Structure 1
Amino acid sequence: MLTYTTYSEAGGVGKTTLTANLADAHTQQGRDVLVIDLDPQQGSLTYLLGIPASRDDGEADNIARHLIDRPKGEFSDLIQDTPYDFDVIPSHDMLENLPQLLTKAQEIAEDLDEEFAPNDQLRQVLSAAGIPDKYDTVIVDPPATAGPQLYNAVSATRSLVLPVEPTGKGIQSVEGLEDMVVNLEDTLGFNVGILAIVPNGIGSTSNQEQYLAEIQDLGYDAPVALRDRSSLFEGCWDQQCTAFYYVGYHRSGRRDYEVETLDKLRDLAAHIEEVGDQ
């Protein structure tokens, strides 16, 4: 089973856009894919894919309720279909209060002399719901901040795919990856793998090409580099769809450079499958 978390400590690097398009690309290669949106922001994967969800309904069952062991229904009822043939568990506003909710749930469990691991709840919920038997690929999209959403995502997947910008700030984040991974491993108590680093938004300047070379020199696997495709990806957000769907249904004519980007996304998905399935 292939499982990974798409994560970046910096916002605005295309984390959620990459997640949606990798899910689409994996599905095109015959995989049964589930994407879990743990990001409480309004502009999350749930919005990008146009998933109907009662985010602000505190009485509705949602992923946060299951993580604190207070569900209102079956976990399978949270799963929603998409036009892209992969499934999604949508975000909910309750995720914003997940740190406090998990702390309260842990205190209640301790009072009852029960075990409760706040950073391992997602893995346990997925296992209890039989998700590993129903899907061969699970991708989790947490917010770009350290906290229980990220910890639960990594605990459930054990692997990371990391988009980065080819800028000075991006290189600093790449150089800090080792520290970030060590901190995650210390917090969670297991080894965390990096399946791929994805330079995203590369332009034609020599400095940006230099940054790409530096990423590779640091010893990290960057199987593809995505050029600056602002028009394509902004169009995805406008139309609330993946890039594959956008090019197929919302572009009036073929643009070879966009087709090349879609091919690179498929290549990236294939590489992640090869590395992650080992």
Structure 2
Amino acid sequence: MAEPARLCVTNQKGGVGKTTVAINLAGALNDRGRDVLFVDLDPQGNATEGLGLLEAYDAEPPTLLDALVDPEGVPREEIVYDHEEMDVVASNVDMNAAASTLAAEDDAELRLDRLLTSLESNVDGDYDFVVVDCPPHLGAVTDNGLVAAQNLVIPALAEPTSKRSLELLFDYVGALEMDHDVEIEPQALVANRIENTNAADEMLEWFEDALPETPLYRVRKRVAFQRAFSAGSSIFAVEEENDMREVFASMAETLDERLTGTRLEVSA
């Protein structure tokens, strides 16, 4: 069985549109004909809500937290929910205790990796991609996403505060790589909610200079994102023209070719 490509959507700075990027990247991969497993690691459950699964957030145990504590012991059907575009490992209110709970466990940073291995081998056929939406802060839960996926998709605002947040993220990633003998690589940088200002233009240039080997995608604010979120889907599942679809489609195509080595003909 081929192992799925894993992507971790992360930035410890809040308010960068991380969940919007994660949901719509997953939707773009699905639109390419890829089978996607989406994992909402964020205790706030924004992606779970944005995929129309709010009832899962308040579900009784066993939940995602139980599965992280015992990766092979929680039945798949308890934490994986069906969605028209992807399968979803939903977040739950219990995840608010994840950091303290995992801190008491051995190999705390490896629990998601074990869980994904268990889930990936319990489906009819293989997933092509796993997309992990991380919390907007560093710590044990985000560590799990980084170590399990090892491929980063980084949303950032085109504003000066992003310089420091990216520097901190890469310092943190470097320490994790040394601790766990892994290589965690940035695969896409998403300049999100771009405004037409000189400051934004300067930051876009800085992004390109700082990460010259990492594809940069420019995403502008569109009401269509909020409408799709309210409908419980990505922008690819709603009947609405949106120029940002092309940006996410391009990102999905590049990631597909980079991480699976596959070129797909996608119908318009």
| Alignment partners' CA distance in 1, 2:100 and 2:211 | 38
Asked if the contact 2:194/2:220 (under 8 Å) is kept, the reply is yes
| Alignment partners' CA distance in 1, 2:245 and 2:36 | 18
| Alignment partners' CA distance in 2, 1:118 and 1:212 | 36
Q: Which residue of 1 aligns with 2:115?
A: 125
Q: Which residue of 1 aligns with 2:42?
A: 39
Q: Which residue of 2 aligns with 1:274?
A: 257
Identity, % of aligned positions: 26
What amino acid is aligned across from residue 19 of structure 2 in structure 1?
T
Q: Which residue of 1 aligns with 2:172?
A: 180
Q: Which residue of 1 aligns with 2:81?
A: 80
Counterparts in 2 of 1:263 and 1:35: CA distance versus 1, 3 Å: same
Counterpart of 1:27 (choices 26, 30, 35) is: 30
Deviation at 1:241, TM superposition (A): 2.4
Gaps of 5+ in 1: 107-115
Q: TM-score, normalising length from structure 2?
A: 0.86
Please state if 1:90 is matched with 2:80: no
Counterparts in 2 of 1:226 and 1:77: CA distance versus 1, 3 Å: same
Question: After superposition, what is the alpha-carbon deviation per residue over 1:156-204, rounded to whole angstroms, capped at 9, x for unaligned?
Answer: 1111100110001123323444323213323433221111111111122
Counterpart of 2:215 (choices 222, 230, 236) is: 222
Q: Which residue of 1 aligns with 2:266?
A: none
| Alignment partners' CA distance in 2, 1:123 and 1:164 | 25
Deviation at 1:62, TM superposition (A): 1.2
| Alignment partners' CA distance in 1, 2:137 and 2:156 | 15
Deviation at 1:128, TM superposition (A): 2.9
Asked if the contact 2:10/2:136 (under 8 Å) is kept, the reply is yes
Deviation at 1:18, TM superposition (A): 0.7
What amino acid is aligned across from residue 271 of structure 1 in structure 2?
T
Deviation at 1:47, TM superposition (A): 0.4
Query: What SS does the corresponding residue of 1:276 show, helix, strand or coil?
Result: helix
Larger-Rg structure: 1
| Alignment partners' CA distance in 1, 2:144 and 2:54 | 24
Counterparts in 2 of 1:66 and 1:275: CA distance versus 1, 3 Å: same
Query: What SS does the corresponding residue of 2:42 show, helix, strand or coil?
Result: coil
Counterparts in 2 of 1:204 and 1:277: CA distance versus 1, 3 Å: same
Deviation at 1:273, TM superposition (A): 1.7
Query: What SS does the corresponding residue of 1:41 show, helix, strand or coil?
Result: coil
Asked if the contact 1:151/1:188 (under 8 Å) is kept, the reply is no
Q: Which residue of 1 aligns with 2:265?
A: none
Q: Which residue of 2 aligns with 1:162?
A: 154
What amino acid is aligned across from residue 124 of structure 1 in structure 2?
R
Question: After superposition, what is the alpha-carbon deviation per residue over 1:11-48, rounded to whole angstroms, capped at 9, x for unaligned?
Answer: 11111011111111101111110001111114x10001
Deviation at 1:71, TM superposition (A): 7.5
Q: Which residue of 2 aligns with 1:111?
A: none
Q: Which residue of 1 aligns with 2:135?
A: 143
What pairs with 1:61-72 in structure 2 (closer than 5 Å)?
Answer: 61-69=62-70
Asked if the contact 2:71/2:112 (under 8 Å) is kept, the reply is no
What amino acid is aligned across from residue 76 of structure 2 in structure 1?
F
Please state if 1:237 is matched with 2:237: no
| Alignment partners' CA distance in 1, 2:130 and 2:122 | 9
- Matched pairs, number: 255
Query: What SS does the corresponding residue of 2:57 show, helix, strand or coil?
Result: coil
Please state if 1:263 is matched with 2:256: no
Query: What SS does the corresponding residue of 2:37 show, helix, strand or coil?
Result: strand
CA RMSD of the aligned region, Å?
Answer: 2.2
Query: What SS does the corresponding residue of 1:134 show, helix, strand or coil?
Result: coil
Query: What SS does the corresponding residue of 2:135 show, helix, strand or coil?
Result: coil
Counterparts in 2 of 1:131 and 1:171: CA distance versus 1, 3 Å: farther
Asked if the contact 1:232/1:243 (under 8 Å) is kept, the reply is yes
